[in-house]
Amino acid sequence: MATVSSPQPWTYTLDLPHDPRASGVARTTLRAVLFRHTISELVDVAELLTSELVTNAYLHSDGPASLRLHSTGPEDERLRVSVWDTNPDIPTAFRKRVGPPRDCDHGRERESGRGLLLVQMCADSWGSYLLGDELFGKRGKMLWFELEADDSTSPARYRRQSGRESSGR
């Protein structure tokens, strides 16, 4: 049975409880959506980055979260993943985009604090929004990233293909 991409842009939204298993549910949902829409080449990177944002939502807020997956359509295979949570504090790494991603030199012994660096290094674009009641009827923040399925010239795509983002150098 052949799978055919939808000719229209699509959006999926998944509400997540404040639960340590939410990241796994988000990854499973993301994988199913990407395979269904035949952009499975993004699965590995998208799962990693989605997991980082959903885990941060769980660790740094005390309320629910929401995952939103959006594609612009088959002519422009761009995936946007957004994660909303109830904490209004935007992480420093997502406040401003100044130059290339920072090196992670704040201690090799640390077990956390590198997730947003991974997003910066692997995504084609990324950002954040501070949300008030007037936008989406929710308070908190939304962190997002985009991946381009077919753009082999993007800097993030080059880093992913060359393996430079995983070398730590």
pLDDT tens-digit map of 48-101? 999 999 999 999 999 999 999 999 766 668 999 999 999 999 988 787 654 444
Where residue 6 falls among pLDDT bands split at 50, 70, 90?
low
User: How far apart, in whole angstroms, are the C-alpha atoms of residue 81 and residue 152?
Assistant: 20
User: How far apart, in whole angstroms, are the C-alpha atoms of residue 23 and residue 26?
Assistant: 5
Q: For tokens 């430079």, what's the residue? A: 164
Instruction: Share the mean pLDDT of the chain.
Output: 79
| Angle at alpha carbon of residue 78, lines to 7 and 153, rounded to 5° | 125
User: How far apart, in whole angstroms, are the C-alpha atoms of residue 138 and residue 12?
Assistant: 17
| Per-residue model confidence (pLDDT) at position 139 | 86
Q: Which of 1-5, 75-79, 127-131 has maximum average pLDDT? A: 127-131
Structure tokens at 106: 């704040």
Q: Tell me how far CA of residue 105 lies from CA of 16, 21, 25, 30, 31, in angstroms.
A: 32, 30, 31, 31, 32
User: How far apart, in whole angstroms, are the C-alpha atoms of residue 88 and residue 60?
Assistant: 10
User: How far apart, in whole angstroms, are the C-alpha atoms of residue 63 and residue 18?
Assistant: 5
Is the pLDDT at 21 greater than 80? The verdict is yes
